[in-house]
Amino acid sequence: MTSTTVHLPAAVPLRQDATIIGLVGLAHASSHFAHLLLPLMFPVFMTEFGLSYSQLGLLMSVFFVVSGLGQASAGFAVDRLGARPLLFAALGIFVLACVLASRVSGYESLLWVAALAGLGNATFHPVDFTILNQRVSGPRLGHAFSVHGLTGNLGWAAAPVFLVGLSSLTDWRSAYLAAAALYGVILLALLLQRDKLSTQVVARSSDVPVEHDLAFMKLPVVWWCFGFFLLSTMTLAVVQSFSVSILKAMHGVSFEAATLTLTAYMLCGALGMLVGGLIAARTRNSERVVARAMGVAALLLALCGTGLFGAVGTMVVLAGTGFAVGIGGPSRDMMIRQATPKGATGRVYGLVYSGLDVGFAISPLLFGLFMDRGWYGATLFGAALVLLLSVGAALAVEQRVGRGSAAIG
């Protein structure tokens, strides 16, 4: 079978680790930037093409379904081919998706753009974590995972400034062409530093049965990790999709103030990841850190659902929820690493992180029913309950890793 283990020297220069972490972080930011390529232009598409909210929602379902299926499959390709070729291919796909988006003429072509962008997004988590786990020294992995999560949030934050800002200065089609150029520049930058992104694979023996490559799927710990990502992402999707509407409906908050609260949630999440990186680097029980962080976040989210704090208090507490979730981010990635069998890094990360795509795909559909009925507080309670269930999944991972169930014989 393939192997993705590299024996690093005892002392790795900080500059070398920092360069690799920065390059992978840049790639991760470009992935999160792509999440918002279509949603930011929804109002434009409604005007240009006469689309309904359900049609627009289907675009994102297509994006995340393709991304989820592709991500689970990409892990196998990463373990067979190495991470670097798939990273370059993904960025090339983003360039093509942005060019096509600048030329769309109706809903059908938008569906193709959504599918293409989802395909590009599919490879990033197995690629990123394979590179980080192979090329970054062990003592700095907690910091690496912290920066990785931070850059993802920054990618989300940069997309509105870039796309909406350029579309207001020129037009939305030109904004997409500029995004294609941006992805081209990122691809060029990574190509110039390609030696820092190489990963090693071991040639597959012809007498090794194919089913052995799938042996990791028999491990319960892998599916508990998948469940954790699905559940925790469902909560994130509620915040991203509905928090602005909930704040306006429950407290009469202006659109600008509600949007600022969502931005504060993301920035607090980024700050939490920086703190969480320090914790992850000093803590062995990653699962417990994750469980405590998500438990606190679930409590804060439920308190927001009560409406007891009023407008300002609810906005502050909601932003604080992002900080709690962010603290758990680096330890979450360490948790997956500890549950990953040798030689299966790409496959495990691909399958586990596809839970993220599944959560993003189904959460708006489920909690959208709550919103349609005016159950705004119940939507936050539901999101808190789902996040609390993810705590149970994290603790289940701890039990199974502790028993050594992540080893493939």
Q: Please say if the pLDDT value at position 340 is more than 70.
A: no
208 inside domain: no
CA distance 152 to 200: 25
Q: Could you tell me if 236 and 264 lie in one domain?
A: yes
Q: Please say if the pLDDT value at position 54 is more than 80.
A: no
pLDDT band at 314 (very low <50, low <70, confident <90, very high): very high
Q: Which residue has the higher pLDDT, 344 or 240?
A: 240
What confidence score (pLDDT) does residue 210 get? 47
Among residues of the chain, what percentage have pLDDT more than 70?
Answer: 87
What confidence score (pLDDT) does residue 296 get? 94
Q: What is the mean pLDDT of residues 121-135?
A: 87
Total Cβ atoms within 10 A of residue 311: 18
Report the mean per-residue pLDDT for the chain: 83
Domain count, the chain: 2
- Is the pTM here over 0.75, yes or no? no
Q: 3 with 202: CB under 8 angstroms?
A: yes
Q: Please say if the pLDDT value at position 406 is more than 50.
A: no
Q: Which residue has the higher pLDDT, 186 or 366?
A: 186
343 inside domain: yes
Q: Is the dihedral of CA 142, 263, 169, 180 positive or negative?
A: positive
- The CATH code of the domain that includes 143 is 1.20.1250.20
For 42, the domain range is: 15-201
Q: Please say if the pLDDT value at position 338 is more than 80.
A: no
Per-residue pLDDT reduced to its tens digit, 69-91: 887 777 778 878 888 999 999 99
Amino acid at 370: F
Q: Which of 4-8, 125-129, 379-383 has the lowest mean pLDDT?
A: 4-8
Q: Could you tell me if 320 and 230 lie in one domain?
A: yes
Give the distance between the most distant pair of CA atoms in the chain: 66
Given 147, 175, 201, which residue is the final one in a domain?
Answer: 201
10 inside domain: no
262 inside domain: yes
Amino acid at 335: M
What confidence score (pLDDT) does residue 2 get? 41
CA distance 297 to 243: 15
Q: What is the mean pLDDT of residues 205-233?
A: 70
Q: Please say if the pLDDT value at position 290 is more than 90.
A: no
CA distance 364 to 380: 13
Q: Could you tell me if 178 and 227 lie in one domain?
A: no
